[in-house]
Amino acid sequence: MPTTPSVTQTAGEGLAVIKATAAKYFAGASDLTIRKRLMLSLLAKYGRIIYDENGVTNTWLIQHDEPPVTAHGAGGEISFDEHDLFTSLTTDWRGYIVTDKMHEKDRLMNKGEVAIVDRYRRIIPQLRQSLDNKFHGEFYIDGDAANNDNRIHGMETFLASGTTVAADLVAKPDDKYGGQDTDVGALGGTWSTDLATASRPNASIATDWPHGAGSSAYDALSPTLLNTSSTSWGTGSTSWEDNCARVLRQGVHWLTKNGGSDGKPTSCFLASNFFVDFQNYQEAKMRITVQHSEAEDLGFSDVLKFDGLMIKSEFDVPAGNGYIINAQQMELASLAPVMFFTKGPEFDMRTMNYLFYAGFFGNVRYQPKFFGKLKAYA
For the stretch 185-214, pLDDT in tens is: 999 999 999 999 999 999 999 999 999 999
CA 31 – CA 47 distance, rounded (Å): 13
Residue 1, pLDDT score: 44
* Closest listed residue to residue 268, CA positions, set 340, 212, 326: 326
Residue 247, pLDDT score: 98
What are the angstrom distances between the C-alpha of 359 and each of 23, 103, 135, 271? Answer: 12, 21, 10, 27
310 three-state secondary structure:
strand
Residue 60: Cβ-neighbour burial (10 angstroms; 0-12, 13-18, 19+): middle
What are the angstrom distances between the C-alpha of 75 and each of 68, 198, 347? Answer: 20, 46, 80
Type of residue found at 210: P
* Closest listed residue to residue 22, CA positions, set 267, 356, 374, 324: 356
CB atoms within 10 A of CB 27: 15
What are the angstrom distances between the C-alpha of 124 and each of 12, 28, 77, 83, 303? Answer: 18, 12, 70, 53, 31
CA 9 – CA 50 distance, rounded (Å): 40
Beta-sheet pairing, 170-171 with 180-181:
unpaired
Residue 130, pLDDT score: 87
CA 296 – CA 292 distance, rounded (Å): 6
What are the angstrom distances between the C-alpha of 277 and each of 30, 102, 105, 212, 272? Answer: 33, 49, 56, 31, 9
Q: Please list, in sequence order, all residues whose beta carbon lies within 8 angstroms of the beta carbon of residue 124, skipping any fewer than 6 positions away.
A: 21, 22, 25, 26
Distance of alpha carbon 120 from its chain centroid, rounded? 32
Provide the residue count of the chain. 378
* Closest listed residue to residue 39, CA positions, set 178, 155, 143, 156: 155
Per run of 10 residues, the mean pLDDT along the chain (length 378 residues) is 44 73 72 83 96 96 77 72 81 96 85 73 83 91 97 98 98 98 96 98 98 96 98 98 98 96 94 97 76 88 93 96 98 94 89 92 98 98
Going by the DSSP 8-state scheme, the letter that residue 235 receives in this structure is: S
Type of residue found at 366: Y
CA 110 – CA 112 distance, rounded (Å): 7
* Closest listed residue to residue 378, CA positions, set 184, 209, 204, 167: 167
Beta-sheet pairing, 267-270 with 309-313:
parallel
What are the angstrom distances between the C-alpha of 308 and each of 38, 255, 304? Answer: 16, 13, 9
Residue 15, pLDDT score: 73
CA 113 – CA 129 distance, rounded (Å): 25
Q: Do residues 27 and 19 lie in contact, with contact meaning Cβ atoms separated by under 8 Å?
A: no
Q: What angle do CA 340, 343, 344 make, to 5 degrees?
A: 145
